Amino acid sequence: MNNKLEILPDDLQTYLDTHCEPEPEVLKYINRETHLRVLKPNMLTGHYQGRVLSMVSKMIRPRRILEIGTFTGYATICLAEGLVEDGIIHTIEANLEMEEMLRKHFSLTDVGKKINLHFGPAAQVIGTIDEEKYDLVFIDADKKNNFLYFELIFDKVRSGGLIIIDNVLWKGKVYGAENDADTQSFRQLNDQIAADPRVEKLILPVRDGLLVIQKK
């Protein structure tokens, strides 16, 4: 099984990359820094998926966003690009060692003032954020807890709001013969969301799969 996260053929992905909005300079910098300084840099959202997240955010013009899993802040910035003038994105990162890098990255952007950074286990932090209903939630953290995070935030999302979960095609394993614990977890997640009558849903074959969920 191919271990790269992009499920599309390289030539198709390159074509898509060159026919979307260019990667902003600050995100190019974060991309380089991530690959130079951080373990598992392939976890970075990257150019094409970043433009997808940015466009979704710009289309719905959210006032409140929650991101679970900040990593080096690339997706955070993409999501923040669509916020209204007084909008806020709360982002939760488990690894406190990322703080210095994250604050530097956010300070380089025009949206840094709209980003509220929280540290700690997401399942604990979510309940401490006193906030009105979210318009958009992006879940990209420890994969075994995806459905837990979905349940914890569901009532905090407004009707018509979006929940996006990353990596749901799991390198193509979910529709293959693999049966390891992580693959089973993603299959169960996808099946549970597909059967949930409270939402509309679809999976976009973007990078490693984006599950886009709209609350009814």
Over the stretch 25-64, which tens digit does the pLDDT of each residue have? 999 999 999 999 999 999 999 999 999 999 999 999 999 9
Give the integer Cα–Cα distance in Å for 163 and 25. 28
Domain holding 125, by residue range, is 10-215
> The whole model's pTM is what?
0.95
pLDDT for res 4: 64
* Residue 2 domain flag: no
Element (H, E) at 101: helix 99-107
Joined tokens for residue 8: 């599309």
* Residue 3 domain flag: no
* Residue 130 domain flag: yes
CB 119 within 8 A of CB 93: yes
Q: CB 46: neighbour CB atoms within 10 A?
A: 22
Residue among 126, 127, 125, 31 at smallest CA distance from 78: 31
pLDDT for res 61: 98
Number of domains the chain is built from: 1
* Residue 5 domain flag: no
Q: What is the CATH number of the domain that holds 103?
A: 3.40.50.150
pLDDT for res 2: 43
Angle at alpha carbon of residue 79, lines to 77 and 80, rounded to 5°? 60
pLDDT means per 10 residues, the chain with 216 residues, are: 70 95 97 95 94 98 98 98 98 97 97 98 94 94 95 97 97 91 94 98 96 98
Taking the alpha carbons of 50, 54, 60, 66 in that order, is the dihedral positive or negative?
Answer: positive
pLDDT for res 94: 97
Give the chain's count of helices (H) and strands (E): 8, 7
